[in-house]
């Protein structure tokens, strides 16, 4: 068994029955109330890319090693890599395998590879499923246009290239766990996810 597969095997079911929170890099991170920040600090969280500069998460996942730099020593950093990819492993990170999500894909909590549609949010969602999550809520996942980051960066491509809403609907339909939005003006809400009222009222 490869090191990448063994990483997922070691994590499988580690948070069975928990409500996990996925942290995207959207502007919502700048709008968190003190109560919402406290709620996230008390829960199991999966950050993506550079979210650790806003809030230390339980897990941090990215396919770009440079974005994992500077993560907390308490955070489990995961470097998602394609089969055969030779990119050096991010310092202090564990390798996990990734593959392309296509419309025919299904999901199992015993999967040995993470599926995504060109966006790390989907890798994090599949990881939460393998971890045994009973439910997932998305924070900072507005993705309303190509300038959807909490810190502005010039867009490199048209956001309309990627049908993320349709992909998230497929994830929601095929996974045995509810997915929640924490903001109406967000990708999860547009994909049919109900609002996480506990988070909204925190």
Beta-bridged to residue 62, according to DSSP, are: 79
Label residue 193 exposed, middle or buried (CB < 10 Å: 0-12, 13-18, 19+): buried
Interval 138-196: pLDDT, tens: 999 988 754 444 343 444 444 344 468 888 999 999 998 999 999 998 999 999 999 99
Q: Which of 16-20, 88-92, 108-112, 124-128 bottoms out in mean pLDDT, i.e. has the lowest?
A: 88-92
pLDDT digits (tens, 9 = 90+) for 48-96: 988 998 899 999 999 988 989 888 889 999 999 988 888 888 888 999 9
CB atoms within 10 A of CB 152: 9
pLDDT top residue among 129 and 86: 129
pLDDT at 162: 47
Spatial distance between the Cα atoms of 95 and 80, rounded to a whole number of angstroms: 6
Helix intervals (H) in the chain = 3-11, 34-42, 120-131, 164-174, 187-190, 197-200
**What's residue 2's pLDDT?**
53
pLDDT of residue 39: 96
Return all residues near 114 (Cβ < 8 A) that are at least 6 apart.
Answer: 8, 80, 96, 97, 98, 99, 123, 126, 127, 130
Which residue has better confidence, 12 or 88? 12
pLDDT at 149 (0 to 100):
42
Structure confidence at residue 5 (pLDDT): 61
Specify the pLDDT at position 150: 39
Name the strand (E) or helix (H) holding 19: strand 19-23
**Is pLDDT larger for residue 161 or for residue 15?**
15
pLDDT of residue 116: 87
């Amino acid at each position: 068994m490869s090191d990448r597969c063994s990483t997922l095997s070691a994590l499988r079911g580690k948070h069975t029955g928990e409500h996990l929170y996925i942290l995207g890099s959207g502007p919502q991170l700048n709008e968190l109330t003190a109560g919402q920040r406290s709620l996230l600090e008390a829960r199991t969280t999966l950050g993506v890319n550079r979210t650790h500069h806003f809030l230390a998460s339980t897990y941090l996942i990215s396919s770009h090693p440079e974005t994992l730099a500077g993560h907390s020593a308490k955070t489990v950093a995961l470097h998602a890599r394609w089969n055969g990819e030779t990119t050096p492993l991010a310092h202090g990170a564990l390798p996990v395998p990734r593959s392309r999500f296509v419309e025919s894909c299904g999901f199992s909590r015993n999967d040995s590879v993470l599926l995504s549609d060109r966006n790390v949010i989907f890798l994090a969602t599949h990881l939460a499923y393998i971890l045994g999550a009973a439910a997932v809520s998305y924070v900072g996942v507005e993705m309303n246009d190509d300038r959807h980051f909490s810190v502005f960066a010039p867009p490199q491509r048209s956001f309309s290239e990627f049908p993320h809403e349709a992909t998230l609907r497929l994830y929601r339909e095929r996974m045995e766990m509810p997915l929640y939005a924490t903001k109406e003006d967000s990708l999860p809400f547009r994909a049919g996810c109900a609002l996480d009222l506990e988070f909204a009222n925190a």
